[in-house]
């Protein structure tokens, strides 16, 4: 009878230990999903600023239509990449797609700002200066949100891969999460905004 109670006690202890590991994995996954939601907020703000920036520049840069259209096209691709990544934060393909589309947008914005240097009236435009400052501020917020997301993903992956958590994670199909990484040094630099 004592052996049976000890066995039941160990079985209950093992069950609660497994539940604790499972709940920790769930907390970790929800943590990086929440961190990605913060990236979504900042990138959406960035993407919403861009049409206003292009509209302001349009009046001054009428013959630079190709550049302005490239910015809008890259912005639309980045919005699409963000929507795809939002559906599955941590998925490697979604993170790579978002990083690539956002990198293309940063390149297009860089070209826009480089061209705007040739237009003194545009540089002096109050609306353009305000939009540029908001965009720069948002770029900083995106970088902080990306770092928080990557830290959350790393924490989750460590928890998921550690023994004995990896047994529970494998049994319940907790997949490894991918970080949001910028592909190369040129894409790491935020667009230079100087007016």
Pairwise CA distance, residues 98 & 96, whole Å: 5
Q: What is the rounded average pLDDT of the residues 64-76? A: 88
Pairwise CA distance, residues 90 & 80, whole Å: 17
Ranges 11-25, 62-76, 102-116, most confident: 11-25
Show the domains of the chain with their CATH numbers.
Answer: 28-188 (1.20.1440.20)
**pLDDT value of position 192:** 59
**pLDDT value of position 187:** 47
Is the pLDDT assigned to residue 20 strictly greater than 90?
yes
**pLDDT value of position 128:** 80
Is the pLDDT assigned to residue 185 strictly greater than 50?
no
Ranges 21-25, 107-111, 120-124, most confident: 21-25
Q: Which CA distances in Å does 134 have to 19, 52, 70, 140? A: 46, 11, 21, 10
126 Cβ contact list (under 8 Å, min separation 6): none
Alpha helices, H only, 59-125: 65-87, 92-116, 120-124
Of the candidates 120, 148, 142, the one whose C-alpha atom is nearest the C-alpha of residue 191 is 142
What's the pLDDT band for 141 if we cut at 50, 70, 90? Answer: very high
What's the pLDDT band for 132 if we cut at 50, 70, 90? Answer: confident
CB 145 within 8 A of CB 39: yes
């Amino acid at each position: 009878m004592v052996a049976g109670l000890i066995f039941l006690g160990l079985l209950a202890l093992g069950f609660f230990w497994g539940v604790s590991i499972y709940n920790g994995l769930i907390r970790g996954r929800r943590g990086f999903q929440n961190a990605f939601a913060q990236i979504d907020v900042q990138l959406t703000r960035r993407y919403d600023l861009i049409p206003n920036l292009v509209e302001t520049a349009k009046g001054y840069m009428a013959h630079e239509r190709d550049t302005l259209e490239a910015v809008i096209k890259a912005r639309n691709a980045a919005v699409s990449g963000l929507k795809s990544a939002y559906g599955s934060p941590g998925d490697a393909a979604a993170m790579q797609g978002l990083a690539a589309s956002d990198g293309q947008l940063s390149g297009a914005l860089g070209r826009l700002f480089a061209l705007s240097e040739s237009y003194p009236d545009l540089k002096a435009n109050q609306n353009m200066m305000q939009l540029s400052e908001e965009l720069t501020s948002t770029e900083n917020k995106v970088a902080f949100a990306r770092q928080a997301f990557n830290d959350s993903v790393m924490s989750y992956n460590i928890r998921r891969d550690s023994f004995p958590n990896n047994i529970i994670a494998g049994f319940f199909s907790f997949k490894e999460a991918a970080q949001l990484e910028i592909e190369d040094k040129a894409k790491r630099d935020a667009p230079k905004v100087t007016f």
